[in-house]
Chains A and B, each alone.
Chain A
């Protein structure tokens, strides 16, 4: 009898559980405060897609997918008719209501009018496609001074150096706790990741991957980049000159010089020797951040026209760009999804800090004709688009299906599976 009781006891005792995987994400720079709107820049915005749902997101092919929306119907490039899901709730349990959605959309530069069981959503910023604005609109509700979201995670702790998020309804085999840890420098972030204090780090330059090779507890993964390294021209430079410069600079030779072989997603092309730069003014090259080498390579390609390289801080670069005090400047403008081009290059677009204006491009954007928009940019180039890098990240080896993108870098994290 005692034996039977022992067997029953052993049989009923749960096996010792494994330590749940907590993702500790190493970041460098100020963490800032997590907010549904992009009013306060900071690294905490990485957590936006886990805490705040959008009405729609985008798949790898660039098509909109409903999230909080039950259905989407495009009325025009500026207008959509969206039915809401009825089952969504905020992290305090309150249902997501139509008025919460309207208020959230309005704070993202959209207007939403209820009618016939759906919302008619429209861009309030003329010329900006509704797709691009919807992708930036997170749905939230203010409660006791906090902005609550309806995403799978909720903030449980926020300090100057750490943001802790917990899954609202824990799921077996998934990550249920995330911590964003802000370090002062990339070196600190790398060192702490190698030491095991953090187990996810992203936005890594290819050359820095060396440090993570053959570390058994970590794995490297990557995803398609959304931005392209570019040499952006001052719009004051003539169109003809910009075309010539763009053609000369968009060469495999420059890519090879600046990045080495195989670093860019752009297809390799046979070197062109027929591109020669006509005489023209010497161009000062404004450079910042990690673009030092790109600036040197551009100057070599520009040959006689390559002028002084001025390497400055990002803030100084922004200031010089705003005042037009540059001939060409290194940068990494958004290239995907196609609608995001409007944000950067449309006349008056929110990220169009360069003052570029191209009516043909604007018209194509208004028609949501992205191929025509691309062609318009090629015809009157604002920049020489050079190299699209893969996004690189390193994560705990126990994560089975890590993935970057397609829109927000870590947006699929809530679905990552953990090895049991």
Chain B
């Protein structure tokens, strides 16, 4: 893992543990804010609806009171009919004022009052029709007692003023009021789009809610309005008239404040997160650089210690050989020659170990490798060493070809390293097995020995640098870490299973590269 990725990971962890809880807290708070905002808007709309209902109720009551007063004052006069007709000049909302009695022809009776209502009016009761549209404005027929038995004063209340009042109610930029009669018919609308329903009498989405409200069914405070928008609503009813008033405001507008706060805070949180990530990343990278530097010094020290130890050992041997040579005794020459050859071989391996460390695996240079053939090649490479140790090396092939891609040299170094380790751990006369298999979708080269095994407490640090405990003077402790480095560079892993006294199995797992049997780079054709 690169320093950059580690730094990012560290930063993300810091951000997740520090900023994200704050962010969640903010979101939670904003949700509460939004809910409270919605509730506050609905309460405000309800208050406006209540005020509007009171105003409309007062207006209607005033008109009827005026009619009663006029009726009582004029009905007894000789020219009552003319005076009543003239009233509408001064009171434009009272139209078609006339005296009604049992003798009044049917065509002159208020058209929206039933015969039963007229009869009731003639019995000195006040009666009123439902609202209707007369000459392009809402109207209502009303009869009041005239003060004389058998006669009533009737008029058509022009409710255009009511329409004006309702239209004047504005909430924000788009909020409006609606007035419904007992049946749910829209009688006045502040929303232009819904005014057609006032004239046509067609029900709107709110109509059933309005008629339900008059019967005691609560109306919802959030709904889809007659013009198809999601609105918040406040409702009020006029018990006397059986009317209901709805004041609606598009939810989008009503909650704009909360939404703006939400956006602002979310932006702030994201900004904070980004800043913390940026700062955290910079600090993490600086810390990692310092750690890496320290680690390098430590590594250099460990290498120096290993090199000093191993080369010191070799120097001691070379000094002994030198002393032996200084004796100029020809009998010692074979021994001197053998010792020098052995030391040269040891130092060569020493140099080879260092050389392995300097070679990087480059995926662009990877080639297909058939693992069974590769194992045979490893076996041959380890043959000399195995012979010296009197250990047999066997290959257990997979049932079919198993292909991987890789740097053949590095993989061979890794496999040879594992094989030599196994040979070293094996008793003379025993065998080391190179087993090829497909396991969990990966191609595996397992190196098994029947040696003494590895102590469990060693296994955890087995693949760390300079952890070798052999310290025989020929090991830097870089072998297994290098095997792991090579495995990782090929997208694979290396693992070990060991039981003290029963031997160890090191498994080098590599990604399978599919069937490459038709590839021109089969081992047979490879150089």
A residues in contact (CB < 8 Å) with B: 186-188, 190-195, 205, 207-208, 210-218, 257, 293, 296-297, 299-300, 309
Q: State A218–B160 Cα separation when bound (angstroms).
A: 21
Chain B residues with CB below 8 A from A257, complex form: 89
Bound Cα distance from A192 to B196, whole angstroms: 7
Number of A-B residue pairs, CB cutoff 8 Å, is 63
Any chain A CB within 8 A of the CB of B88?
A: yes
Q: A190-B196, A257-B89, A293-B89 known; 8 other A-B pairs, CB under 8 Å?
A: A187-B199, A188-B200, A194-B199, A195-B200, A211-B136, A211-B198, A296-B85, A296-B89
Inter-chain contacts of A186 with B (CB < 8 A):
136
Q: How far is the CA of A187 from the CA of B196 in the complex (A)?
A: 9
Q: A207-B160, A211-B136 are in contact. Are A190 and B199 (CB under 8 A)?
A: yes
Would you give the shortest CB distance from A282 to chain B, in whole angstroms? Answer: 12
B78 → chain A closest CB, angstroms = 15
- Name A197's closest neighbour in chain B (CB-CB): B196
Cβ B89 vs Cβ A211 within 8 A:
no
- Once the chains bind, are A210 and B163 in contact (CB under 8 Å)? yes
Q: Are A214 and B192 in contact (CB under 8 A)?
A: yes
Question: CB distance B200 to A191 under 8 Å?
Answer: yes
Are A296 and B192 touching (Cβ within 8 A)? no
Given contacts A190-B136, A194-B195, A194-B199, contact A214 B167 (CB under 8 A): yes
Q: Which A residues are in CB contact (< 8 Å) with B199?
A: 187-188, 190-191, 194, 211
Q: A216–B167 Cα gap in the complex (Å)?
A: 14
Chain A: minimal CB distance from B165 (Å): 11
- Interface size class of chain B, counting residues whose CB lies under 8 Å from the partner chain: 20 to 34
- A-contact 0/1 string along B141-169, CB 8 Å cutoff: 00000000000000000001001100100
A contacts with B: majority SS: helix
Q: A186-B136, A187-B133, A207-B160 are in contact. Are A215 and B195 (CB under 8 A)?
A: yes
Chain A residues with CB under 8 A of B160: 207, 210
**B interface residues (Cβ-Cβ under 8 A, vs A):** 85-86, 88-89, 133, 136-137, 160, 163-164, 167, 190, 192-193, 195-200
Taking A207-B137, A208-B136 as contacts, is the C-beta distance between A300 and B89 under 8 angstroms? yes
Task: Give the distance to chain B from A291, nearest Cβ to Cβ, in Å.
Answer: 13
Minimum C-beta distance from A307 to chain B (A): 10
B136–A187 CB distance below 8 A: yes
Give the docked Cα–Cα distance between A296 and B137 (Å).
20
CB atoms of B136 and A296 under 8 A apart: no
CA distance A197 to B133 in the complex (A): 20
Which single residue of chain B is at the shortest CB-CB distance from A195? B196
Cα separation A293 to B96 with both chains bound (whole Å): 11
**Residue ID in chain B nearest A260 by CB atoms:** B92
Point out the residues of chain A lying under 8 angstroms from B193, CB to CB.
194, 215
Q: Closest residue of chain A to B190, judged by CB?
A: A214
- Chain B residue, CB-CB nearest to A208: B136
- Chain A residues lying within 8 Å of B88, measured Cβ to Cβ, are 293, 296
Taken together as a complex, chains A and B put the C-alpha atoms of A332 and B133 apart, in Å, by: 26
Residues of A within 8 A of B163 (CB): 210-211
Cβ 8 A contact of A300, one of B86, B164, B192: B86
Partner of B196 from the list A194, A214, A300 (CB cut-off 8 Å) is A194
A119 to B275: give the CA distance in the assembly, Å.
88
Q: How far is the CB of B174 from chain A (nearest CB, A)?
A: 10
User: Would you list 27 pairs from A and B whose C-beta atoms are within 8 A, ordered by A residue?
Assistant: A187-B136, A187-B199, A190-B196, A193-B196, A194-B192, A194-B195, A194-B196, A194-B199, A195-B196, A195-B200, A205-B136, A207-B136, A207-B137, A208-B136, A210-B137, A210-B164, A211-B163, A211-B195, A211-B199, A213-B192, A215-B192, A257-B89, A296-B85, A296-B86, A296-B88, A297-B89, A300-B89
CB B439 to nearest CB in A, in angstroms, measures 46
Q: How far is the CB of B494 from chain A (nearest CB, A)?
A: 47
Asked whether A191 lies within 8 Å of B196 as measured between CB atoms, the reply is yes
Task: Give chain A nearest CB distance to B435 CB in angstroms.
Answer: 53
Nearest CB of chain B from residue A295's CB, rounded to whole Å: 10
Complex Cα–Cα for A398 and B211 (A): 38
* Complex contacts, B85 vs chain A, CB 8 Å: 296, 309
Using Cβ atoms and an 8 Å threshold, which residues of chain B touch A192? 196
From residue A304, how far is it (CB to closest CB) to chain B in Å? 12
List, in ascending order, chain B residues with CB within 8 A of A195's CB. 196, 200
The 10 closest A-B pairs by CB, nearest first: A215-B192, A194-B196, A191-B199, A195-B196, A191-B200, A191-B196, A194-B195, A208-B136, A187-B199, A257-B89
The distance in angstroms between the C-alpha atoms of A205 and B89, with both chains bound, is 18
Task: Give the shortest distance, in Å, between A410 (CB) and chain B (any CB).
Answer: 21
Best-buried of B163, B167, B199, B200 by chain A (most CB within 10 Å): B199
Query: In the assembled complex, which residues on chain B have CB atoms less than 8 Å from the CB atom of A213?
Result: 167, 192
On chain B, the residues within 8 Å of A188 by CB distance are: 199-200
Residues from chain A with Cβ under 8 Å of B137 in the complex: 207-208, 210
